[in-house]
Amino acid sequence: MTPELLARAGRALAGDEWRRPLARALGPLHPDGPREELDQRLVSRWSLGQREIPGWVRPALVGLLWRRARDLHAEADEAASVADALMP
């Protein structure tokens, strides 16, 4: 996994200020046991290529991204439904 792909995943999950939210999202998924969050500086170092991104991060991101995609789809469906209901 590259720092660029990590950044793309982070932005897809949390927008432009993605490092801290990603640290929070990955904390409970840590393979050594859940934690409240990872150190945001660690995520930053991964994104800058200063530290290798551990292998467990890729599958964790896949799960987070699929869940985000499902949530966005549900929100889009609800927005369309409300828009239809508002039509005369």
DSSP letter assigned to residue 17:
S
Mean pLDDT of 14-38: 98
Mean pLDDT of 61-86: 98
42 is in which domain, residue-wise?
Answer: 3-86
Query: How many residues in total does the chain contain?
Result: 88
Q: What is the pLDDT of residue 59?
A: 98
The number of distinct structural domains making up the chain is: 1
Among 68, 64, 80, CA closest to 24: 64
